[in-house]
Chain A
């Protein structure tokens, strides 16, 4: 009864401030929309200045290949420039991201079987744009040599055809596990330890510490109310994400149950972890500061945005003990591997152990005195 009373108190207070719950839903959705659009898709429309001092056939062939890229994938937009001086000025001003200078005699040298160089000057302040322009130019030079496009990859005489094992997951949809985990983390920021610290800051805790509530009553009551909030917000986030991306949970009712189980475990584990770290803080500002820091260092290495394989060894080691990594991996396995629950098994086991340890630690470290 006492645990339920602590939960009820917390839930009533949160229900009277629905904006906090709403923010735990809307902010992760905003992440999905912004990150999904900011990070996905090929680069297009990079302005490439073009100064051609040669009117020969090879120079025209190179320009033709670049025009094909412009009207095809659209990586570059060609900007004809009359003189090298004007080209360099525009490059320095940032009006163009790259400058291709085709010198006089370029076609002549090539037609005589000699090597010829065209200068590519890149605005390397934006390394990703510079790399994309360079790749386009290499593609154009290759196309100049081999004008027929190939649609199959050949190794010797063997033909390779790629086949996707699981249903197609586009980038927006691939962010869903991360966004759900983010929503759980935000839920743990606005409930649990935060409520304890706010009570302490306002002096309200003195009244309930004067009752026979045990440490475990207070801890479990607060954590379970936070879990209800996180579960609610992440369910809403999941539903809205599916609406936005057109995805759905594979595996039928068992799939839904598995997702709910992972969300529940993750919520409880994260809330307990926050209680261990912040349960004794005496100012809500400290909660804001530490939560903001944890939100970044736990989310970005979690594999929600980039695969762990791209990390250096030390970061991979950190990611392997990051609870968000296992939550994201478990959700990905359930959501995208056609409802294959076995694939999530290891991560669910890890999360269960983590949650059990954090629950124990949070109860032991909670302060029962002023």
Chain B
């Protein structure tokens, strides 16, 4: 199968900061590929280099078999982009927004009408086509922008954090839309997100990006297999467990990994349900009170913690994103 996106040793430096550091990547045609990582990890910069919005410092990249450095216009003709910021024109109607963008791609009048109608039906905005976008909700604007990204029938669609800032209901509408897009086949989708559940639910393969590098790559299943065990037990404790106690937990049958957390311990286990009563008993015997406990299946969040040693949720909250558009505050 041919590659829709090929990246070799691509690097971006902003002065002394290396935002993307010698990344190699290959995305197959028709694949829904996820780039996940905290804010500031370099995901958006990587995508912007592939679109030709940010000059590449070094390395090579091809999108839809077109060289990004030598033919950026050719690349832009082949791809659709849904940027992270909401970028539709507020003073134009939904229909006008799509019409103008279709003209940017030299789509002929008859085709424009057909495609706009088809896409607006697909994103459930046909009834609101003549309303100014300023009257749309955030979810509606995002759907409109996905339609806009598809107006010229691109080979590759880049979606940068398409569900950021949306309520859970709108997020699921976008998820359904992305799933629906895949049904036609042929379209390669690159999805950038810091929602690991989103990547897990939608993507064929996922690359975890941290500090400008890809630290893990594979299908969600393959990535989860990197983490020992199949369940995660999280325990909140009153007091510090002794090192000896943690060693004894590690020695329990079915326990794969034990580590301290800010509030207690995290245990990777083959079966959380079987191990949990034994663990409770050990803490009770040691005189430590357990104030919370949870068992979950291994997720991409666990994979992120496993490969980076940090929680993605904490990272996302802490780091700003370089090159983000300015916003009114």
Q: Are B54 and A282 in contact (CB under 8 A)?
A: no
Question: Of the 9-residue stretches B32-40, B88-96, B205-213, B309-317, which lies at the interface with chain A?
Answer: B88-96
Which residues of the partner chain A approach B325 to less than 8 Å between Cβ atoms? 202-203, 206
B93 to chain A, nearest CB (A): 9
Which residue from B85, B100, B148 sits with its C-beta under 8 Å from A203?
Answer: B85
Which residues of the partner chain B approach A1 to less than 8 Å between Cβ atoms? 103, 106
Q: Does B77 belong to the interface (CB within 8 Å)?
A: yes
* Given contact pairs A9-B100, A204-B87, A370 touches B53 in the complex (Cβ within 8 A): yes
Q: Does A17 belong to the interface (CB within 8 Å)?
A: yes
Q: How far is the CA of A13 from the CA of B148 in the complex (A)?
A: 18
Q: Are A210 and B76 in contact (CB under 8 A)?
A: yes
B284 to chain A, nearest CB (A): 55
B321 to chain A, nearest CB (A): 12
Closest to B158 in A: A210
Question: Which A2-45 residues sit within 8 Å CB-CB of chain B?
Answer: 2, 4-6, 8-9, 12-13, 16-17
Q: How far is the CA of A1 from the CA of B105 in the complex (A)?
A: 9
Q: Are A282 and B326 in contact (CB under 8 A)?
A: yes
Q: Are A5 and B100 in contact (CB under 8 A)?
A: yes
Q: Are A207 and B81 in contact (CB under 8 A)?
A: yes
Chain A's interface size range is 20 to 34
Which residues of the partner chain A approach B53 to less than 8 Å between Cβ atoms? 206, 209-210, 369-370
Q: How far is the CA of A204 from the CA of B83 in the complex (A)?
A: 9
Chain B's interface size range is 20 to 34
* Given contact pairs A8-B100, A206-B83, A13 touches B92 in the complex (Cβ within 8 A): yes
Q: Does B52 belong to the interface (CB within 8 Å)?
A: yes
Question: Which A337-370 residues sit within 8 Å CB-CB of chain B?
Answer: 369-370
B75 to chain A, nearest CB (A): 9
B3 to chain A, nearest CB (A): 21
Which residues of the partner chain B approach A2 to less than 8 Å between Cβ atoms? 103-104, 106
Which residues of the partner chain A approach B51 to less than 8 Å between Cβ atoms? 210
Q: How far is the CA of A4 from the CA of B52 in the complex (A)?
A: 23
Which residues of the partner chain B approach A81 to less than 8 Å between Cβ atoms? none
Q: Does B73 belong to the interface (CB within 8 Å)?
A: yes
Q: Does B195 belong to the interface (CB within 8 Å)?
A: no
Q: How far is the CA of A217 from the CA of B326 in the complex (A)?
A: 25
Which residues of the partner chain B approach A16 to less than 8 Å between Cβ atoms? 91-92, 132
Q: Are B104 and A370 in contact (CB under 8 A)?
A: no
Question: Which B49-91 residues sit within 8 Å CB-CB of chain A?
Answer: 51-55, 73, 76-77, 79, 81, 83, 85, 87-89, 91
Q: Are A8 and B103 in contact (CB under 8 A)?
A: yes
Q: Are A9 and B92 in contact (CB under 8 A)?
A: yes
Q: How far is the CA of A12 from the CA of B99 in the complex (A)?
A: 12
Q: Does A211 belong to the interface (CB within 8 Å)?
A: yes
Q: Does A208 belong to the interface (CB within 8 Å)?
A: yes
Closest to B82 in A: A207
* Given contact pairs A208-B104, A211-B105, A369 touches B91 in the complex (Cβ within 8 A): no
Q: Are B103 and A5 in contact (CB under 8 A)?
A: yes
Q: Does A213 belong to the interface (CB within 8 Å)?
A: yes
Q: Are A207 and B92 in contact (CB under 8 A)?
A: no
Which residue from B54, B79, B96, B324 sits with its C-beta under 8 Å from A369?
Answer: B54
Query: Can you list, as one digit per residue, whether each of A194-235 has a CB less than 8 Å from chain B (1) or not (0)?
Result: 000000011111111111111000000000000000000000
Closest to A369 in B: B53
B328 to chain A, nearest CB (A): 8
Q: How far is the CA of A1 from the CA of B85 in the complex (A)?
A: 27
A195 to chain B, nearest CB (A): 11
Q: How far is the CA of A17 from the CA of B89 in the complex (A)?
A: 13
Q: Does B175 belong to the interface (CB within 8 Å)?
A: no
Which residues of the partner chain A approach B54 to less than 8 Å between Cβ atoms? 369-370
B110 to chain A, nearest CB (A): 14
Closest to A8 in B: B100
Q: Are A211 and B101 in contact (CB under 8 A)?
A: yes
Q: How far is the CA of A8 from the CA of B95 in the complex (A)?
A: 14
Query: Can you list, as one digit per residue, whether each of A37-80 has a CB less than 8 Å from chain B (1) or not (0)?
Result: 00000000000000000000000000000000000000000000
Which residues of the partner chain B approach A209 to less than 8 Å between Cβ atoms? 53
Top 8 nearest A-B pairs by Cβ distance? A203-B325, A5-B103, A207-B87, A210-B81, A203-B85, A16-B91, A211-B104, A206-B83
- Write the residues of chain A forming the contact surface with B, with a CB cutoff of 8 angstroms: 1-2, 4-6, 8-9, 12-13, 16-17, 201-214, 282-283, 369-370
26 A-B residue pairs with Cβ-Cβ distance under 8 Å, sorted by A, are A1-B106, A2-B104, A2-B106, A4-B103, A5-B103, A5-B104, A6-B104, A8-B100, A8-B103, A12-B91, A13-B89, A16-B91, A16-B132, A201-B326, A202-B328, A203-B87, A204-B87, A204-B89, A206-B87, A207-B81, A207-B83, A208-B101, A208-B104, A211-B76, A282-B326, A369-B52
Question: Could you list 13 further interchain pairs (A-B, Cβ under 8 angstroms) beyond the known A209-B53, A370-B54?
Answer: A5-B103, A9-B100, A12-B96, A12-B100, A13-B89, A13-B92, A203-B325, A206-B53, A207-B145, A210-B51, A212-B73, A369-B52, A369-B53
